[in-house]
Amino acid sequence: MAPFSKPETVLKQAEGLVSVGQTHAALQSLTEMFSSKRFRSTPLTSLEPIMHRFIELCVEMRKGRTAKEGLMQYKNIAQNTSVQSIENVINRFLQLADAKVKEAQEKAAVQSAVDVDDLEASETPESILLGAVSGDQSKDRTDRALVTPWLKFLWESYRTSLETLKNNARLETIYQQIAQQAFKFCLKHQRKVEFRRLCETLRLHLANVAKYSHQQHSINLSDPDTLQHHLDTRFAQLNTSVELELWQEAFRSVEDVHNLLTMAKKAPRPAMMANYYEKLTKIFLMSGNALFHAAAWASTTPSSLASAASRTKR
């Protein structure tokens, strides 16, 4: 184990390494600090600047796994004293990753969604050979080479953030915010495969609430505010699945909402229920089930329609 140095010294050494082009060594020097026993006792005011620089280097070199390990370590230290510090680091992580995607798109002049079916799939030798044989050196291929790696990294960054923040009552608000940002990512880039995986991840996290109930800062779904946060996220999930025209996933999202509604001790907001039944009508219409389609419309009361209308005008 490397001897412990003062945080200011570690950061200064890392900056010196970056200045001479030794970015990998700089990242390693910051990473080694996490293994020190004194790391946990270092004030957050000293640690947070190091974490920001650590995250910047991870993003610059697309070191997603290293970033995840560092974020987990920092969460374990900061969750009892400063939730805001964790939020700052996570938000900075995602902002940097998103900026890299935009930068790559500008370089490649890509204005439309990248034509890759699965962001988690690697390019196979066969596909590389086929491209070489066919002389596929078009601008589209160049664009994909520039943009897709950063799009993959941003997607992995959302997954890493959710894994870091999951099943922790103190981090519940930022967790739900990141989940909804991930929905927007899927919608913006038309990532249908990733959206399905995201929904499964959120379901797994929710299913594990009971499993982690004995742990410190566990989620309590009996708390009205906590339940409302989960409902808001599931409604965003439902809206996104309809926008992406993933009707099977939309139906599963309806089930997610219904399961949470059965746990609610007070009636949901009228505008929320109006949106719920409106989405149901679309799902049943696409499934060709006229009876359920009519029943969903029947459940949409005049008052809820009026509420939805006022919300739309705003």
- Residue 32 sits at φ, ψ, to 5 deg, of -60, -25
Residue 288 resides in a domain:
yes
Q: Which of 260, 254, 262 is nearest to 296 (CA)?
A: 254
pLDDT at residue 305, rounded to an integer: 47
pLDDT exceeds cutoff 80 at 137: no
Residue 192 resides in a domain:
no
Domain count, the chain: 2
Residue 227 resides in a domain:
no
Q: How confident is the model at residue 52 (pLDDT cuts 50, 70, 90)?
A: very high
CA distance 143 to 148: 8
Do residue 153 and residue 291 come from a single domain? no
Q: Which of 174, 207, 167 is nearest to 89 (CA)?
A: 174
Residue 295 resides in a domain:
yes
Residue 56 resides in a domain:
yes
Mean pLDDT along residues 154-176: 96
- Residue 107 sits at φ, ψ, to 5 deg, of -65, -40
Residues whose CB falls within 8 Å of the CB of residue 133, separated by 6 or more in sequence, listed in order: none
CA distance 164 to 167: 9
Residue 278 resides in a domain:
yes
CA dihedral of residues 120, 131, 102, 23 (deg, nearest 10): 80
Q: Which of 196, 187, 158 is nearest to 175 (CA)?
A: 158
pLDDT at residue 302, rounded to an integer: 52
Residue 228 resides in a domain:
no
> Of 51-55, 138-142, 256-260, which has the strongest mean pLDDT?
51-55
Tens of pLDDT, residues 15-49: 999 999 899 999 998 888 877 777 777 888 888 99
Which residue's structure tokens are 């149901």? 280
Tens of pLDDT, residues 246-290: 989 988 998 998 888 888 776 667 776 676 777 777 666 565 444
Q: How confident is the model at residue 150 (pLDDT cuts 50, 70, 90)?
A: very high
Domain that holds residue 299: 269-314
> Of 136-145, 214-223, 230-239, 272-281, which has the strongest mean pLDDT?
230-239
Q: What is the value of pTM for the model shown?
A: 0.80
